[in-house]
A and B are shown apart, each in its own frame.
Chain A
Amino acid sequence: MGSVFRSEEMCLVQLFLQSGSAYDCISELGEMGLVEFRDLNPSVNSFQRRFVSEIKRCEEMERILGYLLREIRKANIAVPEDDEICPVAPPPKHVLEIMEQLQRLEVELSEVARNKEKLQRNLLELTEYTHMLRITRTFVHSRSRNKALGPQYEEFQSIESDSAGCTGMQRLGAKLGFVSGLIHRVKVEAFERMLWRVCKGYTILSYAELGESLADLDTGEISTNVVFLISFWGDQIGQKVQKICDCYHCHLYPHPENDEERADVMDSLRTRIQDLNNVLHRTEEYLRQVLQKASESAFTWVVQVKKMKAIYHILNLCSFDVTNKCLIAEVWCPVNDLTNLRGALEEGSRKGDATVPSFVNRIPSNDTPPTLLRTNKFTSGFQSIVEAYGVGDYREVSPAPYTIITFPFLFAVMFGDLGHGMVMACFALWMVLTEKSHKRKRSDNEIWTMFFEGRYIILMMGLFSVYTGLIYNDCFSKSLNIFGSGWSVRAMFTDQQWTNETLQTNTLLILDPNVSGVFVGPYPFGIDPIWNMAVNRLSFLNSYKMKMSVIIGVMHMSFGVVLSVFNHLHFKQRFNIYLLFLPELLFLLCLFGYLVFMIIYKWLAFGARDSRLAPSILIHFINMFLMQGGDNTPLYPGQTGLQVFLVVVALLCVPVLLIGKPVYLYWLHRGGKSLRLRRGYERVRRVSEDDMSQAPAYADDEEEGFDDLMTSRDTQPKEVKTATVHTSHINI
């Protein structure tokens, strides 16, 4: 299918929508997600566009819905378990109904919430009063019990026995007064001190902590309160005490004179609290009912309002024609979807009861169309990674299908552990198998969302890591010996190289592959397990991994360069093949391809026998650039000659790459088949003919400067870029 290989072909299309059915047509188009609208009113301010009032209405509805959803969440009502809540945008006539319903709901909810708050406050007061009464009772009674303790209580006779008031006090000409109430635990000491300082001992404060903690409605915190009882005599002291209590935000309640009154008040309070609890309970039930009913349609409404708003935004992009009866929209549409587009418009016209059907008109255009690459849930992750490097040009070859394998493979080359790879693959597999329920939940955790969106990528990375882990013979950093090692220690003994004495005297011994029987053959699948136990493990592994990454990197980069050929052929720029592709490929292969050849040749040609003579590839490579012979033994006869030739070819490619294309384009632009002096009118005619045949693309440009041509060199295709990035990662 062509659409995976390169982006789809697009065409510019004009839609003529009848005003009555424009909303429905756009709703149909939106449901199918086919087209990209162009803004036909770019100079108009967004506040002056046609459908601004409708958009404002939608935003008002969104605000009410937001409040509604918050209340629903606070009451812990469950979300309806629909698999996909995908209602279509409502037609304009239904919009008013929805708006009305929402407004009514908002009013009702806020009223109920206010009432509930009032009731709760009331309840709190009554509860506090009850507690206060209960605790001050103990003060009074305890006081009477302490009568025998000391002279200070002499004047205060027990209050209940005094029916005519405090006769003792009346003798002194002063009236005993009480102030009682509640205060926060943290403020009690300061309160006491203040009382002492201000009233100079004319007051007595007794207080006891309240067993349970009550919620403070204003701040919502749960604090411990203390019940206090201040007894004083004298009116002026009374006023001072009142002021201090106000200052400390105490909740004051009237203190009963005697026990009967106290009992009466407590009884009435009890019944009142019971009533209040009932009413509160009913109110909460009612609120819950209302919210439950609203939650059935609230989520549908949210989606509908969003879709409506989007439709009005799109309608704002269209322009009205002269007669004001028809909306004109310019859209980019994929050529393959033109029939679907027509079908959608017909459907929309039918729904909108239009007298005149809306129709489609394809128009030619010189603008670059947008790039469309269709993806499914598997390929979308990889496509978004590729787009992070940059979105491809229109109809350019897309590197995304290759990245599905190369990204995870290169990750696995760097990761390469069987055990950890399996853990990763299992985690990703779990995410993939349970993706439906996770998609519905839509978590707020960003890190989880990141992992979840990349679940297919992680699965591929895990699977490839298992394979590379097997090849590296690395399972949780231990090696597996599946096929039997290719190195034999016994052979060193049987050949009399080592004896038990050598073992006892040396801590480290190296196996010699030259001794027969020591090295039986290469391990058939991956790295031999003996290397895991070797002390010089890294010398072998480093050399192996470096060479491996060079080979993989060079092959990847060549693949990317080769991909560019398809672009050149498609855009009919054959000169690019000779001026860009060929020099790039030659440069790459002559230098780094030759390096790969040397690596493989050394692996095949040099063995244990001539290990002393085996030359270093690195030195050879460096000497190749410096064009020095060096003391190095050659890898093969004729090496110096070949290397000189390759370096010369590569060096010749560089100027072609740098200035070949600009010079060629400049020469084309000058219109010359060859460089000749102008000779009058014949020359002029031939120039115009040449121009038309060879350079149609420059019809619009007047004078193309040389500097423009220098900067407009084609950038390398993204495959090469990603390949280079990855190779550098491996090498690091």
Chain B
Amino acid sequence: MAELSFVIPMSVMTLFWGIIGGVVPWFVPKGPNRGVIVTMLVLTAVCCYLFWLIAILAQLNPLFGPTLKNDTIWYMYYHWP
């Protein structure tokens, strides 16, 4: 978990959704729709962050790898880094 390839996305996404869910609601102008907008922002941030987090946690420690066909492997050997 100390790998850079995990820390950078983690911090970027947490910061991004944290700003949307925690900072932006304070700047919503007062009006009849303030309650709805704040609710929407917080819920969006929570739902989207959670969804992304589950996706990355599920792939953090894979128990098995992908099974590929041999022609796919041959192609990827030459064309993928």
Chain A contact residues, CB within 8 Å of chain B? 1, 4-5, 376, 378-379, 401-402, 404-406, 409, 413, 467-468, 471, 484-490, 493, 498, 503-504, 506-513, 518-528, 530-531, 533-537, 539-540, 543-544, 547-548, 551-552, 555, 600, 603-608, 611, 614
Contacts and interface: CB of A to CB of B under 8 A. Distances in A.
A548 B55 CA distance: 8
Contacts of A611: 63-64
B61 A524 contact: no
Interface in B12-65: 13, 32-36, 39-40, 43-44, 47-48, 50-52, 54-65
Q: How large is the interface on B (under 10, 10 to 19, 20 to 34, 35 or more residues)?
A: 35 or more
Contacts of A409: 43-44, 47-48
B61 to A, nearest CB: 4
Given A467-B48, A489-B73, A540 B5 contact: no
A532 to B, nearest CB: 9
Given A511-B68, A524-B5, A548-B58, A614 B63 contact: yes
**Interface pairs A-B: 4 shortest CB-CB:** A534-B66, A511-B65, A521-B5, A607-B61
Contacts of A530: 66, 68
Q: Looking at chain B's contact residues, is the secondary structure mostly helix, strand, loop, or mixed?
A: helix
A489 B80 contact: yes
Contacts of A603: 57-58, 60-61
A485 B81 CA distance: 9
B56 A534 contact: no
B16 to A, nearest CB: 11
B66 to A, nearest CB: 3
Contacts of B76: 489-490
B68 A534 contact: yes
Nearest to A467: B48
B62 A519 contact: yes
Contacts of A1: 32, 34-35
Given A379-B36, A534-B68, A522 B63 contact: no
B69 A507 contact: yes
22 contacts: A471-B52, A487-B66, A493-B77, A504-B70, A509-B68, A510-B68, A513-B65, A520-B5, A526-B52, A526-B55, A530-B66, A533-B66, A534-B66, A534-B67, A536-B67, A540-B62, A547-B54, A552-B51, A603-B58, A603-B61, A606-B63, A607-B62
Contacts of B50: 551-552, 555
A544 B65 CA distance: 14
A246 to B, nearest CB: 78
Contact of B68 (A413, A486, A508): A508
Given A471-B51, A525-B52, A511 B32 contact: no
Nearest to A473: B55
A522 to B, nearest CB: 4
Contact of A531 (B32, B61, B66, B69): B66
Nearest to A544: B58
Contacts of B52: 471, 525-526
Given A401-B36, A509-B70, A552-B51, 11 more contacts: A4-B39, A402-B43, A409-B48, A468-B51, A486-B5, A486-B59, A522-B56, A535-B69, A552-B50, A603-B61, A607-B61
Contacts of B60: 522, 603-604
A53 B55 CA distance: 69
B65 A510 contact: yes
A376 B44 CA distance: 20
B36 A487 contact: no
A405 B40 contact: yes
Given A490-B77, A504-B70, A511-B65, A523 B59 contact: yes
A513 B43 contact: no
A519 B60 CA distance: 10
A484 B32 CA distance: 46
A503 B68 CA distance: 11
A635 to B, nearest CB: 14
